[in-house]
Amino acid sequence: MSRKQRREQARKDPATAIGTVSIFTDVLNSITSLFTSDTPELASNRRKIERICRCFVLNNEKLEQVMSVLEKCMDEGLSKEAGDQSTLKMLPTYVRAVPNGEESGEFLALDLGGTHFRVLFIKLNGREAEMTGKVYHVPESLRTGSGTNVLCALVASYRSLALAANLTYPAHSCRPLNPLFPFFNV
């Protein structure tokens, strides 16, 4: 079967196309090397371990099938028609280009996770980067409280970092801000 045919088969029926996916060839070799004795008991154990570990050996064909299944699931997750039924929820990205190592500037990043919030100040100068940051605990009262309280806490956290790191800006100056909020499937 050609590569194109395998990809098409995986697109049509991802569940059966994957079969057994294997990724631990080195593990199999390491474990079997532990059983160098030829006693019947060790030989039996070695065969059992080899049989189990073979499930984790990934060849190119299986890799391509996994790639096809992931691609199909991502397409469905981004699809307006199938997005609600997709098992892999996706959001469109608005990234216009990938980094090339010539980026420069000063940036703020706010990363709000489930139980922690991270404030970062990042200076880029080509391939050099300086990062100052602080991690804050997000209490239950804030996680379940109002949006206004969350935003006030974010501002207070940023202000705390700015004061601690002696970050000052001229009045009315702007810095690019990257807020990162988790995507919850509710």
What pTM value is reported for the model? 0.47
Neighbours of 167 (CB within 10 A): 15
Segments making up each domain of the chain, as ranges = 3-78, 104-180
Higher per-residue pLDDT: 153 or 2: 153
- Mean pLDDT score of the chain: 76
Gap between the Cα atoms of 173 and 79, Å rounded: 40
104-180 has which CATH code? 3.30.420.40
Beta bridge partners of 124: 105, 129
- Tens digits of per-residue pLDDT, 115-137? 888 888 888 998 899 988 889 88
Neighbours of 161 (CB within 10 A): 19
Q: At 3, is the pLDDT very low, low, confident or very high (cuts 50, 70, 90)?
A: low
Q: Write the DSSP assignment of 47-107 as a string of letters.
A: HHHHHHHHTT---HHHHHHHHHHHHHHHHHHH-TTTTTT-SS------------S--EEEE
Instruction: Give me the pLDDT at residue 75, please.
Output: 87
Instruction: Give me the pLDDT at residue 111, please.
Output: 86
For residue 107, pLDDT beyond 70: yes
